[in-house]
Amino acid sequence: MNFRDNLKDELFFQNIQLKEFSGKLKIPYSTFLSYIDSRNRLPKVDVAYKIAEQLNVTVEYLITGKPEDNYKKNLTNTNKELLVLPSCFINQIQNIIHSYYELYKLTNNMR
């Protein structure tokens, strides 16, 4: 996955309204859309940092999709409990989330 896909996924996961988010970043809505639509523009480094900071993730995560090594420090107890679920449950949960996201994309014309 790339920056655009990781950003779109994180925005969806956090249920963030795009117009409101671009306002928090103090960048034009059309500019922000260019990062997640078919134009697939990459933001300048300082903007990518602001995006990551607002989402409470790292720029590295937005680029690679891999969480930083010390991300477990910030997990809540519930999230820590989820980490010890048997892998079969984790796979089922991931499949459910993925299916829900695909359905959401279809119903909202997000391709």
Q: What is the pLDDT of residue 19?
A: 93
Backbone angles phi, psi at 63, to 5 degrees: -80, -45
Is residue 23 predicted with pLDDT exceeding 90?
Answer: yes
- Model-level pTM? 0.61
pLDDT computed for residue 53 by the predictor: 92
- Does position 28 have pLDDT exceeding 90, yes or no? yes
SS (H, E, C) the chain: CCHHHHHHHHHHHCCCCHHHHHHHHCCCHHHHHHHHCCCCCCCCHHHHHHHHHHHCCCHHHHHHCCCCHHHHHHCCHHHHHHHCCCHHHHHHHHHHHHHHHHHHHHHCCCC
Q: How far is CA 37 from CA 7, 61, 62, 83, in A?
A: 11, 19, 15, 33
The residue count for the chain: 111
Q: In the predicted model, what is the mean pLDDT of residues 61-90?
A: 64
Question: By mean pLDDT, which of 23-27, 71-75, 86-90 is the weakest?
Answer: 71-75
Please tell me the least confidently modeled range out of 4-8, 66-70, 81-85. 81-85
